[in-house]
Structure 1
Amino acid sequence: MESRNASAVLFDVDGTLMDTNYLHTVAWWEAFRQMKHTVSMASIHRAIGMGADHLLEHLLGKDRDQDEDEAISTAHLVLYAQYSPRLPPLEGAADLLRGCAARGWKVVLASSAKSKELEAMRQSLGADDAITAVTSADDVKASKPAPDLVETALKRAAVPADRAVFIGDTVWDVYASRRAGVRCLGVLTGGISAAELLEAGAAAVYEGPADLLARIDDSLLESVGG
């Protein structure tokens, strides 16, 4: 049951809390290369933030051989897994989660990653004490930019859309949150410019988790209706 008095902060993880977007870029590039597809790293980077279900169509087109999709996605997962023991959290990420929780806001992770990838990132973050709930690509039919992940995160937080704010680093995060009726704040740590995030519909853009934490009481508090 939704509570009109509760508030929640929903977080993307890759590129928002973890410095992993370029690791994903390299892993996807090599996965495509193994299947004889030439896709530039620049194009791949700009698609990071989508779930694999959307990313493959975005980069290879609707007319691709879809029988290859599973092999490409599996190759990406295997290649990316080599980084799992040393995934780097962004500066201030864990402190930001704890800062939100300390203010009484529910903290929910809403990631397009598979649950196994998300678990590895949670271990690196080391802030489970601040996290209320999580949702991953395994929990929804369609990942970002579809609104499913954000809507599922809202349900798990048990708050309405107007009592939540989403934090993300890509235009796909902004699109997904807007489609779910949730205000979005952007961060620059995923490599997407402030102009692009604002044009997509982000309410404001910050340098990263540490910057957002430093201004938490004049940013998130207003956004979640506190």
Structure 2
Amino acid sequence: MTPHPAPQSRGVALFDLDGTLVDTTYLHTLAWWQALRRHGHTVPMVRIHRAIGMGSDRLLDAVLGPDRETGEDEALSDAHGTLYATWYDSLQPFEGAAALLRATAARGWRVVLASSASEEEVAAVRARLDADDVIDAATSSADADATKPAPDLVRAALDTVGAEPEEAVFVGDAVWDVEAAARAGVPCVGLLTGGTTRRELEDAGAVLVHDDPLDLLRHIDAGPLARPPAPGGTS
């Protein structure tokens, strides 16, 4: 975790990184596909894509089945990390991503990056995002025992700034983000940037769905990020 001193506002806006603020979902899909092939597993990319946003353990359950040989999990995860790292210098934030974080902070929210990626991957994405001046804290896979859609990562993100669920809003792109936020008692705004449909996000419980960060930014004052809740959890 990388906490910074928090402002007076109690509200906290949690943002997923991969596929939400930075266009990495399909890069992760490709890296996992290549890693699996290196270890003798040919898995359709569509199946991998559907699992992106989970932690690596749950992703491998989803694409290889829970009865797989788990002894190669670490090697598969390491191979994915190595392959994905070749893209670090060309990672591309979505249009409006950094501006959305700054607009959120300007409205009194504490901004926390709630990511389940490795510390190295989070650092690489943050470097490309270039918005550290308004980010109060960030999580990585090291901060939670159970990965999305379990609520542990969301709770860990709240803990970095001492916030309660009723003081928070989560922004994510995957069904797993919405489900993890819901299990932690936090409403989730969904974005279509990860390739998940509006219907899927809404069915999972997203309170609002926008096309991308720029769309959310343009409508920020008409949604739950308009202003943080007052102390005590009331708006």
TM-score over 0.5 for the pair? yes
Matching residue within 19, 32, 57 for 1:53: 57
Counterpart amino acid of residue 27 in structure 1: A
Deviation at 1:26, TM superposition (A): 0.3
Matching residue within 205, 213, 216 for 1:201: 205
1:33 aligns to what?
37
1:189 aligns to what?
193
Query: 1:162-219 deviations in whole A, cap 9, x for unaligned?
Result: 1100000000000100000000000000000000000001001001100101111111
SS in structure 2 opposite 1:189? helix
1:154 aligns to what?
158
Deviation at 1:157, TM superposition (A): 2.2
Counterpart amino acid of residue 211 in structure 2: E
Matching residue within 105, 120, 128 for 1:124: 128
1:176 aligns to what?
180
Runs of 4+ residues over 4 Å off in structure 1: none
Q: Which moved more, 1:212-221 or 1:197-206?
A: 212-221
- Residue 92 in structure 1 maps to residue 84 in structure 2: no
- Residues 134 and 153 of structure 1 are in contact (CA less than 8 Å); yes or no, is this contact kept in structure 2? yes
- Residue 21 in structure 1 maps to residue 14 in structure 2: no
- Residue 74 in structure 1 maps to residue 78 in structure 2: yes
How many positions carry a matched residue from both structures? 225
- Residues 14 and 168 of structure 2 are in contact (CA less than 8 Å); yes or no, is this contact kept in structure 1? yes
Matching residue within 101, 108, 115 for 1:111: 115
Query: 1:60-118 deviations in whole A, cap 9, x for unaligned?
Result: 11211111111111110000000011110000000000011111100000111001000
**Cα RMSD for the two superposed structures:** 1.6
Deviation at 1:5, TM superposition (A): 5.7
TM-score by length of 1: 0.96
Query: 1:33-77 deviations in whole A, cap 9, x for unaligned?
Result: 111111110010010000102111111112111111111111100
TM-score by length of 2: 0.92
Alpha-carbon distance in structure 2 between the residues aligned to 1:57 and 1:221: 35
Matching residue within 3, 8, 18 for 2:12: 8
Q: Which moved more, 1:120-129 or 1:155-164?
A: 155-164
Deviation at 1:220, TM superposition (A): 2.5
2:68 aligns to what?
64
Alpha-carbon distance in structure 1 between the residues aligned to 2:119 and 2:174: 20
